[in-house]
A and B are shown apart, each in its own frame.
Chain A
């Protein structure tokens, strides 16, 4: 059974992850997001919370990174899947480095006109680099396989 870490920021990113729940059926999946309450959304699964940061609050980045790397070391995932945003790049990068994990980035469906900044960075740490908009896909990536809507 594949050991999977499914990680996202809060708000819409977490909503998009919840819409992917059937993906994880029968897998050994651990979830991580920013609100401790959100453990209630994934009953029967391990859930870890980490603190978020944004461009308006860059100082949180180091703390967030340390927490996320801590989660990755605990879970030892074989696969990491993220629906964004920026903090979860630390999970993809560290899981790849520490455990040779396969990493999947699904850029948010909210990014209709262009990939997010973190979405563009994800190409360097994601084995599978996905957009949810066909018109944003290109031969050099990101790829389009569908969307959560």
Chain B
């Protein structure tokens, strides 16, 4: 199963259209998409507008591959479950987000194991093929922040 998510805030038709076309070319692949408020409704894959938190995590856990906007929530979800992820950054000039910070997030993360970045204009078939061979090597990834940062923030609260 491939799980696609646009996150919880803004629609992202470009990602959903691209992946719907990909799903049409790969009918043997089971694909599920969380599409948010997007106006484009997929025809070649199952979808939901919103997926509650626990179900979202269950779908991540069950997926072989995640395809997502380059949002931090999606990135951490994939890392916590040790799943490879294709990151599709949103662009501000296309009003896909308010700023280009997703491009910065993608640039920062692109060298991390288990992460492939698909920018605007990239060939999605090639990116998906590349991601299919990935092993996310994040078995020891914690769901909590590093202990020194936890301690530092706690100190701020207690003083």
Contact = CB atoms under 8 A, between A and B. Distances in A.
Interface of A: 2, 4, 10-16, 18-23, 27, 34-35, 37-38, 40-41, 52, 54-56, 79, 81, 102, 104, 106, 108-113, 116-117, 128, 145-149
A146 B157 contact: no
A56 B96 CA distance: 10
Nearest to A14: B73
Interface in B118-159: 143-150, 152-154, 156-158
Interface residues of B, number: 37
A109 B72 contact: yes
10 contacts: A15-B72, A18-B143, A22-B145, A23-B157, A35-B8, A54-B10, A56-B98, A112-B107, A146-B149, A149-B76
Interface of B: 7-10, 52-54, 71-77, 95, 98-99, 101-102, 104-105, 107-108, 143-150, 152-154, 156-158
Q: Is the interface of B mostly helix, strand, loop or mixed?
A: helix
Contacts of A18: 143
Please indicate which of the listed interface residues B77, B107, B143, B144 has the most CB atoms of chain A within 10 Å of its own CB: B144
A102 B88 CA distance: 38
Nearest to A34: B8
